Structure 1
Amino acid sequence: MSALVWIAAASLAAWLWLLLGQGFFWRTDVRLPPLGEPREWPDVCVVVPARDEAAVLPLSLPTLLAQDYPGRAEVFLVDDGSTDGTGDLARELAERHGGLPLTVGSPGDPPPGWTGKLWAVRHGVGLARARAPEFLLLTDADIAHAPDSLERLVAAAHAGGFDLVSQMARLRVAGTWERLVVPAFVYFFAQLYPFRRIGRRASRTAAAAGGCVLLRAEAAARAGVPDAIRHAVIDDVALARAVKRTGGRVWLGLADRVDSVRPYPRLRDLWRMVSRSAYAQLRHNPLVLLGTVAGLALVYLAPPVVLVAGLATGGAAAATAAGLAWLVMTATYVPMLRYYRLPPLLAPLLPFTASLYLLMTVDSAVRHYRGRGAAWKGRTYARPGTASGQ
């Protein structure tokens, strides 16, 4: 057997395993579990960390203030050292729109060992603690919620006995690069953390989507968060792991009525979003990086390359196996495109998108070793155990 046949066979075997053995990650029907109405609706405090978010706040904050929640709820926006008037704008929006009470706080610069977002979350949770809420809703400043979002999250947590309920907000796909890159981002995330496994008690898989996390205050205290994860760049996954490790139940699924309003019109914007944390996901380990690059090449890039090579050289066996691998890959991507209301004809382009993610991952590692890794909004975070970024 030629090398092309072996490569194609290995890629096809990998895709058959992904299709059937990776928690059916490619399905998009994991939505909020059945809802159950509590006898008494618990108090909820909404914590919104915000740094230089004046551009998106008018589209997101009013949706939080307008929550139609049967119980008592309050919003705490934490202005994390913004230079664009985020805090003042939040107060203006609250005066203009009314709705839930809003408190705007500012914790100052994060101390060494803390990321800015988690330092802001810590401050917001501290403010909320005075209200003794049963639940905390941690949501990003670019997330817009339907009027019944909070009610549905609390009802799902109550009915399922979950300590953490998280929804992967539907990201914006208005521009060409957004349509090409964004659905693949969610697809790859689900492949790493199959949603079906996260909700199982016996499964060790844990993850959350930081844009929308409903968390029991008791579970947060038991897990020691956010202090226990203060240095985490990928804070949503770290949060879910901390909650599950201390006996909490976690659920994650795709959102129907929770949307990100942040635009990523250029490839550079999307590149920055992915590369800032890609190498942290690999635990800053060069061997894991090499394995990841090789795996991406075998699973995503090899099928179209080997198919073309096999057809050009008359290698029918290699071309057939590679074509089948590409077909399975394409079929598993179609449900995510449908979820994003995009044409299935984009599915065969997944190898090209995967090549972009491969380059973004390598770039993330290069930036890390140049001292510019995990940079976001003027701050650069070092690997835990090294000097902290500013």
Structure 2
Amino acid sequence: MWTAVGSLAAWLWLLLCQGFFWRTDVRLPPRTEPAPGDWPAVCVVVPARDEAAVLGRSLPSLLAQDYPGRAEVFLVDDGSSDGTGELARELARHGGLPLTVASPGEPPAGWTGKLWAVRHGIALARAREPEYLLLTDADIAHAPDSLRRLVAAARTGGFDVVSQMARLRVKSGWERLVVPAFVYFFAQLYPFRRIGRRGGRTAAAAGGCVLLRAETAERARIPEAIRQAVIDDVALARAVKGGGGHIWLGLADRVDSVRPYPRLDDLWRMVSRSAYAQLRHNPLLLAGTVAGLALVYLLPPVALVAGVAAGDAAAALAGGVAWLVMTATYVPMLRYYRQPLWLAPLLPGTAFLYLLMTVDSAVQHYRGRGAAWKGRTYTRPEAVPEEG
């Protein structure tokens, strides 16, 4: 009974005191566009490694941006073996924004491949002297007015970073079960409303769509300062906010990921490759996370069933109310993803899957496999010497 009451207390605290993380109304601020001749120059940097399967649906959306100012795209081919660079050049022949395709070679020790590619793209972009950089992944498709709205929001709000959590694909059964929960858990860890507060400590971004002021990037030494980060978007936000920058993060309406995750194995690898890095490779944080997930997500349905079976009305009531609160907080995310609401009571089962993925991430780390992505494996980052 007391553990059930503890779980209920945790859910009441999450409901009321965790930045209203469960609400999905944090979207791009109202648009007030600059004057016709006052649109700043923007360079779009797209790191890409073996992305030929999705590039045909994402890159044309960037090249077709309806942006009144000067803008161009830099796609950095990070050692692809599937013809990503050649496909990008072919797509650029159909017109649109200027496209430069470059390759930085293999990353040196101490760099992740993505951030090495981003470094190369930013270096190329700086020669154009842009006011803003849009860092976006190769699997992200943008509506024609996406760049326009991002810049208008940054200018209106005075933000150094404007980031949108791209709407992930939800078509297969496993995607319906796992993907909305992924965004729900992210928002619970990093409540969007707290991120936008000036002077607040909460910092995060969504790596698929990050509009970054070029001056801020240089001042925060991005990406050099975060060159080993596996969870690079959160590391970028912390670097910016640590230097006094102002960040906005919200859910996207017109920015979508086109990468499919049709099988549980695909989703499992997406989560497990970085879950233990999120816990700083700390066994104590892992143990606390497992215990927390069990108390908050698994205990309520167990307490309800066990309480009813044992005739313990108090345990059953506390477990049932905790489960009801959990279900209610998940409903807005399911509506955002246009999914059936009967999935909401299944959140404890999804949380159990995430618990297993997190444990597996730690197991893979201690087996020396670390965070694996497209043929590269990153073990625990060591101290990085300062560059001269």
Task: Establish whether TM, by shorter chain, passes 0.5.
Answer: yes
Return the alpha-carbon distance in structure 1 between the equivalents of residues 96 and 288 of structure 2: 51
Aligned to 1:262: 259
Match runs of 1:86-125 below 5 Å: 86-95=84-93, 97-125=94-122
The AA in structure 2 aligned to 1:88 is E
Aligned to 2:56: 58
C-alpha displacement of 1:386: 7.6
Aligned to 1:343: 340
Match runs of 1:295-306 below 5 Å: 295-306=292-303
C-alpha displacement of 1:202: 2.2
Aligned to 1:21: 17
Report the secondary structure of 1:55's partner residue. helix
> Once structures 1 and 2 are overlaid, which stretch shifts more, 319-328 or 377-386?
377-386
Residues 199 and 251 of structure 1 are in contact (CA less than 8 Å); yes or no, is this contact kept in structure 2?
yes
Aligned to 1:253: 250
Is 1:45 aligned with 2:43?
A: yes
Return the alpha-carbon distance in structure 2 between the equivalents of residues 376 and 162 of structure 1: 31
**Structure 1 runs of 4+ with >3 Å offset:** none
RMSD (CA atoms):
0.8
Return the alpha-carbon distance in structure 2 between the equivalents of residues 227 and 386 of structure 1: 13
Return the alpha-carbon distance in structure 1 between the equivalents of residues 375 and 34 of structure 2: 43
Match runs of 1:139-158 below 5 Å: 139-158=136-155
Unaligned residue ranges in structure 2 (runs of 5+) = none
Return the alpha-carbon distance in structure 1 between the equivalents of residues 46 and 368 of structure 2: 29
C-alpha displacement of 1:33: 1.0
Find 2:208's aligned residue among 208, 211, 215.
Answer: 211
C-alpha displacement of 1:6: 0.7
Residues 34 and 160 of structure 1 are in contact (CA less than 8 Å); yes or no, is this contact kept in structure 2?
no
Find 2:195's aligned residue among 198, 204, 219.
Answer: 198
Change in CA separation of 1:161 and 1:64 when aligned onto 2, cut-off 3 Å: same
Aligned to 1:128: 125
Residues 48 and 75 of structure 1 are in contact (CA less than 8 Å); yes or no, is this contact kept in structure 2?
yes
Task: Give the TM-score normalised by structure 1.
Answer: 0.97
Return the alpha-carbon distance in structure 1 between the equivalents of residues 9 and 262 of structure 2: 36
The AA in structure 2 aligned to 1:240 is A
Aligned to 1:240: 237
How many residue pairs end up in the alignment? 382
Report the secondary structure of 1:34's partner residue. coil
Identity %: 84
> Any idea what the Cα deviations from partners look like across 1:337-374, whole Å, max 9, x if unmatched?
00000011110000000000000000000000000111
The AA in structure 2 aligned to 1:176 is G
Find 2:173's aligned residue among 176, 182, 185.
Answer: 176
Aligned to 2:278: 281
Is 1:364 aligned with 2:369?
A: no
The AA in structure 1 aligned to 2:99 is L
> Any idea what the Cα deviations from partners look like across 1:112-171, whole Å, max 9, x if unmatched?
000000000000001101100000000000000000000000000000000000000000
C-alpha displacement of 1:204: 0.6
Return the alpha-carbon distance in structure 1 between the equivalents of residues 69 and 242 of structure 2: 30
Aligned to 1:82: 80
Aligned to 1:223: 220
Return the alpha-carbon distance in structure 1 between the equivalents of residues 6 and 163 of structure 2: 35
The AA in structure 2 aligned to 1:224 is R
Unaligned residue ranges in structure 1 (runs of 5+) = none
C-alpha displacement of 1:37: 1.5
The AA in structure 2 aligned to 1:195 is F
Aligned to 1:6: 2
Report the secondary structure of 1:56's partner residue. helix
Residues 8 and 302 of structure 1 are in contact (CA less than 8 Å); yes or no, is this contact kept in structure 2?
yes
Residues 44 and 136 of structure 1 are in contact (CA less than 8 Å); yes or no, is this contact kept in structure 2?
yes
Report the secondary structure of 2:171's partner residue. coil
Report the secondary structure of 2:28's partner residue. coil
Return the alpha-carbon distance in structure 1 between the equivalents of residues 383 and 298 of structure 2: 35
C-alpha displacement of 1:36: 1.9
> Any idea what the Cα deviations from partners look like across 1:173-219, whole Å, max 9, x if unmatched?
00000000000000000000000000000211000000000000000
Return the alpha-carbon distance in structure 1 between the equivalents of residues 199 and 235 of structure 2: 18
